[in-house]
A and B are shown apart, each in its own frame.
Chain A
Amino acid sequence: MQAFKCPHCGGDVKYDPGAESMSCVHCGSEIRREDYQQYLDENALYATNELVCPQCGAALLRYDDTLASFCCYCGSAVHFTRRSVEDSKPDEIVPFKIDGADALKRYRQRLERSVFTPDWLEEGGADRLVGLYMPYYRYQVTATEHLTGDAQNLHGGGYETYSVDCDMKAEYRELRFDAAEAFPDCLSSTMDEMALEGKQRLDQRAKPFEASYLAGYYADGGSVREGDYRDMLEQMVRADLAQQKLYFRSAGLNVAAENPELKLEQKKLLYPVWLNTHRKGDRVCYAAIDGETGNVAAELPLDRGRFLKLALILTALCCLVLNRFVTLQPLPFLCVAGALLSLMGRMLAKLSRDVELRRDYRDDMGRIGMEEFKRSTKSKARKQRHVPVGFLSLGWVMIYIGLVVLALCLAALFFLERHGSLGYIIAAILALTGGLDLILVCCFEAKFSSSAQRPIRWRFRMKPLQLIKAIWPTVLGSLLAAAVLFANPVEDAWYYAAGIADLLLAAWAALELIRQYNLLSSREIPVFTRRRGGEADA
């Protein structure tokens, strides 16, 4: 059986007899038959066995006839169904250097470094680890643009201004994206960054592909269409260059790269990963151990009991210090309580937002790519793609930092002065930061757009219900504190009551924080809708 795939998107192609060309069922692209034949010859396909997990639908490739009994994606013992398929041959491969026992040792060491991890993560031996070759796309992007405009340069004692007429060349190397939809992007990107920090250059490590490296290991079978990454990568590079204004300016240029010309070089690569899967109830958490460098990227949930015990110990230490040095009068107490609650609330809001992003796979290009692809084959609106870039624009960050600094200054003044009216200002700030900026921080999501002038756009981010769930304690507590501060009653009990209420809300938020954290560091048992090997039988 020979699979005819589209070179652009990996979908099925069909011979179009009238036009003597091939047309793609998915992306509609037309290729001359001669070109397609040449493509087929160049990308020699090789035959493997495909194992499909009946539970989650993940597909693994195996060169030999071994049948696995443990699915590393859903963490369950299953009988795989097997059939032989042909897969497109990768260009490069990074062979395994670390064996399973070593990988397990590194994983255990990683567990030891953290106090909070639950004991069940330590269960299981080396047989739990699955050695997988993950398909990757490795890119090298070169952006060039001819720049004309003013430049300033240090000359003698001062600046001289002159007009420049030069070429800008920006190179991005070591870019890579895993093409396995089943392998979460958060893990692969973490692994990549660790390798990058270790200055281990991928282009030096990669060897030309030879199938014999695969013997004894699995390879992930689900592959992302390369076009998905191409589009996004171009947008990412454009957005990144547009954000380099500061760099350009500090080089002396007064112009920025507005519309660079991009050249992408792509290589398909197999990368070795030891995948460790723990299943707890209806959640799984993964640990990916880099098969070459041994770096561990592990999702580590918190053990609630351990966490609370440690928090208790820290509380006792804080309490000793506070009782020794600090006696808070009711009003400052309320201010401190409000500030703590607002801090806690912000953490909770941020975490809830992250959880929501992850639950919707919005941080996973492999998954979003598929969803979007299905939608966009009909409509042509493929130009703008949602990619969660969570950073705030610099303006917002400035406003935010300014607000915090202002609040701190006022608080300092207030403690020195204990002037009545400052209480009102702090109350106003508490109310403001408690409500408004939480909404700002967690409501908006950036997305890349193809226009270079505004490469990043904002859109509404959280579902209203999730938002309310995440911020009600902070808003309620801040408003309560603000109300009491404005009313300014004689009776201390009001201040204490509001302060204690705020702190109890904050403690509740902390418990919620643990829950959300555990949701973030584990995932639902995945369900993959296969698309390789023909969607006809799905």
Chain B
Amino acid sequence: MLSLLRKALRKPWILNTLALLAAAVLLWPFLLDVFNAWRLGKAGAETGSHAVILEDNAQLFSPEERSGLEREMGQSARYCSVALLTTRDTGRLGHAAYAEQAFDRLFSGTDGILFLIDLDNRELRLQKNDENRLITTALCESVTDNVYRYASAGDYYACAKNAFSQAAALMSGGQIPQPMKHISNLLIALCLGLMLAFWRAYRQNDVNRPEEVYQIYRRAYRSISFSDGKLRRLDWADYAGTLGDILGGIVSGIGEAAGSGGGSGSRSSGGWSSGSRSSGSRSSGGRSSGGWSSGSRSSGSRSSGSSGSRSSGSSGSRSSGSSGGSHRF
């Protein structure tokens, strides 16, 4: 199978075709981004039947802006309740916990999207139900990423309006542009690809590297014996190693503990590798319903250790948790 692939890849035309295909695959997300940006600009003006709540506690919007925002929010209201909340005081709560409390207060268990502009902590947050599969936490973060610059510049109207138009696009099953995600993933993939290719090339080379040339255990059979019969006899392979094997043992031990296992460079059949083989504890930990996605992700505070970051995760009593993504501005 693998040798077949190798043979195929040695043919220039196959390699070239695959490379072209790969280039197309790499370009595709960016084309999609352009298309999605274009589609967002010309979204329709239907309004839905779910609740539209606008609590402008921080007095950020003029009456015209309010009506404009309500129209924009109406689009998402086709799918669930929507709320826009601005505040200058979150009390002692962090923005994430504050958003969560408000979410429970406003929607009380029903589906909803809440966008919070928190001038106290200078954070934006998009909060949604845990059950909401159309808007993932990662997408929440993408939305706040896409709009936080408006907030930084003080244009809260544009910030909120764009956030809701993107949320509506997502709720209707569409996509929003995530250019930075695609660029960063592309570059990471590029490095990974180069590394993998190089690793492959390095492995295919079986000529000894300089430091391997004069390692005695690589080029000799060694056997050690003692005249004292009481000393333990070891099942030590003829072609036994020193450091390389110990290292191999360590590496394979680590590999197993990490669950990847397999090919360490140990060349001997000797005993070290089995000795260091410890119990690979692979229990992945209690992943409670919202554990990772809500509890850990929601606190998104790079700025300061915000209090109450874990509150959402630990509050298991509620029927439906909510989570979201946020961004400083």
Interface residues, chain A, with chain B CB atoms under 8 Å away: 112-116, 147, 151, 153-154, 162, 164-176, 185-187, 189-190, 192-194, 196-197, 232, 236-237, 239-240, 243-244, 246-247, 250-253, 297-300, 302, 306-307, 309-320, 322-323, 326-331, 333, 336-337, 340-341, 343-344, 347, 354, 357-358, 362-365, 387-391, 394, 397, 401, 405, 416-421, 423, 488, 490-492, 496, 499-500, 503-504, 506-507, 510, 513-514, 517, 520-521
CA distance A320 to B25 in the complex (A): 8
User: Contact: B195 with A401, CB < 8 Å?
Assistant: no
User: Contact: A344 with B195, CB < 8 Å?
Assistant: yes
For the complex with contacts A340-B195, A421-B305, 6 further pairs of A-B residues with Cβ separation under 8 Å are A113-B204, A171-B223, A251-B232, A309-B19, A319-B189, A517-B201
User: Contact: B301 with A162, CB < 8 Å?
Assistant: no
User: Contact: A490 with B228, CB < 8 Å?
Assistant: no
Mark out the residues of chain B between 1 and 37 whose CB falls within 8 Å of any chain A CB in the assembled complex. Answer: 3, 6-7, 9-10, 15-16, 18-19, 21-23, 25-26, 29
CA distance A168 to B142 in the complex (A): 69
User: Contact: A316 with B221, CB < 8 Å?
Assistant: no
Mark out the residues of chain B between 186 and 216 whose CB falls within 8 Å of any chain A CB in the assembled complex. Answer: 186-198, 200-202, 204-216
User: Contact: B244 with A391, CB < 8 Å?
Assistant: yes
Q: In whole Å, how far is B94's beta carbon from the nearest beta carbon of chain A?
A: 12
User: Contact: B234 with A251, CB < 8 Å?
Assistant: yes
Q: In whole Å, how far is A340's beta carbon from the nearest beta carbon of chain B?
A: 5
CA distance A416 to B299 in the complex (A): 10
**Which residue of A168, A298, A314 is within 8 Å of B193 (Cβ)?**
A314
Chain B residue with the shortest CB-CB distance to A192? B219
Chain B residue with the shortest CB-CB distance to A287? B207
Chain A residue with the shortest CB-CB distance to B182? A323
Set of chain A residues within 8 Å of B7, measured between Cβ atoms:
112
Q: Which of B80-88, B99-107, B112-120, B235-243 contacts A (4 or more CB under 8 A)?
A: B235-243
User: Contact: A247 with B219, CB < 8 Å?
Assistant: no
Set of chain A residues within 8 Å of B26, measured between Cβ atoms:
312, 315-316, 319
User: Contact: A153 with B232, CB < 8 Å?
Assistant: yes
**Given A363-B210, A419-B305, residue A240 in contact with residue B222 (CB < 8 A):** yes
CA distance A244 to B186 in the complex (A): 48
User: Contact: A358 with B191, CB < 8 Å?
Assistant: no
Set of chain A residues within 8 Å of B201, measured between Cβ atoms:
114, 116, 302, 307, 517
Q: In whole Å, how far is B249's beta carbon from the nearest beta carbon of chain A?
A: 11
CA distance A115 to B208 in the complex (A): 20
Chain A to chain B contacts (Cβ below 8 Å), 13 pairs: A162-B230, A247-B236, A315-B22, A315-B189, A316-B189, A318-B196, A319-B185, A319-B186, A322-B185, A327-B178, A340-B195, A388-B210, A390-B211
CA distance A511 to B211 in the complex (A): 23
Q: In whole Å, how far is A253's beta carbon from the nearest beta carbon of chain B?
A: 6
CA distance A377 to B234 in the complex (A): 45
User: Contact: B194 with A387, CB < 8 Å?
Assistant: no
Set of chain B residues within 8 Å of A343, measured between Cβ atoms:
195
Instruction: Tell me whether B283 is interfacial, beta carbon within 8 Å.
Output: no
Instruction: Tell me whether B302 is interfacial, beta carbon within 8 Å.
Output: yes
Q: Which of B25, B272, B296 has the most CB of A within 10 A?
A: B25
User: Contact: A250 with B232, CB < 8 Å?
Assistant: yes
User: Contact: A315 with B300, CB < 8 Å?
Assistant: no
Size of chain B's interface in residues, with CB distance under 8 A?
101
Instruction: Tell me whether B141 is interfacial, beta carbon within 8 Å.
Output: yes
Set of chain B residues within 8 Å of A363, measured between Cβ atoms:
210-211, 213-214
Set of chain B residues within 8 Å of A114, measured between Cβ atoms:
6, 201, 204
**Given A340-B195, A391-B243, residue A247 in contact with residue B234 (CB < 8 A):** yes
User: Contact: A420 with B305, CB < 8 Å?
Assistant: yes
User: Contact: B232 with A310, CB < 8 Å?
Assistant: no
Instruction: Tell me whether B59 is interfacial, beta carbon within 8 Å.
Output: no
CA distance A520 to B205 in the complex (A): 11
Set of chain A residues within 8 Å of B9, measured between Cβ atoms:
115, 310
**Given A115-B10, A358-B210, A490-B152, residue A311 in contact with residue B215 (CB < 8 A):** no
Set of chain B residues within 8 Å of A190, measured between Cβ atoms:
206-208
Q: In whole Å, how far is B286's beta carbon from the nearest beta carbon of chain A?
A: 13
Set of chain B residues within 8 Å of A302, measured between Cβ atoms:
201
User: Contact: A153 with B301, CB < 8 Å?
Assistant: no
User: Contact: B222 with A186, CB < 8 Å?
Assistant: no
User: Contact: B222 with A354, CB < 8 Å?
Assistant: no
Q: In whole Å, how far is A413's beta carbon from the nearest beta carbon of chain B?
A: 10
Instruction: Tell me whether B328 is interfacial, beta carbon within 8 Å.
Output: yes
Chain A residue with the shortest CB-CB distance to B310? A417
Instruction: Tell me whether B281 is interfacial, beta carbon within 8 Å.
Output: no
User: Contact: B187 with A337, CB < 8 Å?
Assistant: yes
User: Contact: A507 with B194, CB < 8 Å?
Assistant: yes
Instruction: Tell me whether B62 is interfacial, beta carbon within 8 Å.
Output: no
User: Contact: A506 with B198, CB < 8 Å?
Assistant: no
Instruction: Tell me whether B224 is interfacial, beta carbon within 8 Å.
Output: yes
**Which residue of A154, A297, A420, A517 is within 8 Å of B232 (Cβ)?**
A154
CA distance A427 to B56 in the complex (A): 39
Q: In whole Å, how far is A293's beta carbon from the nearest beta carbon of chain B?
A: 14
CA distance A428 to B223 in the complex (A): 46
User: Contact: A394 with B243, CB < 8 Å?
Assistant: yes
User: Contact: B213 with A186, CB < 8 Å?
Assistant: yes
Set of chain A residues within 8 Å of B193, measured between Cβ atoms:
311-318
Set of chain A residues within 8 Å of B223, measured between Cβ atoms:
170-171, 173
CA distance A363 to B9 in the complex (A): 34
User: Contact: B222 with A507, CB < 8 Å?
Assistant: no
Instruction: Tell me whether B138 is interfacial, beta carbon within 8 Å.
Output: yes
Set of chain B residues within 8 Å of A496, measured between Cβ atoms:
180, 183-184
**Which residue of A147, A153, A186, A340 is within 8 Å of B207 (Cβ)?**
A186
**Which residue of A151, A176, A488 is within 8 Å of B230 (Cβ)?**
A151
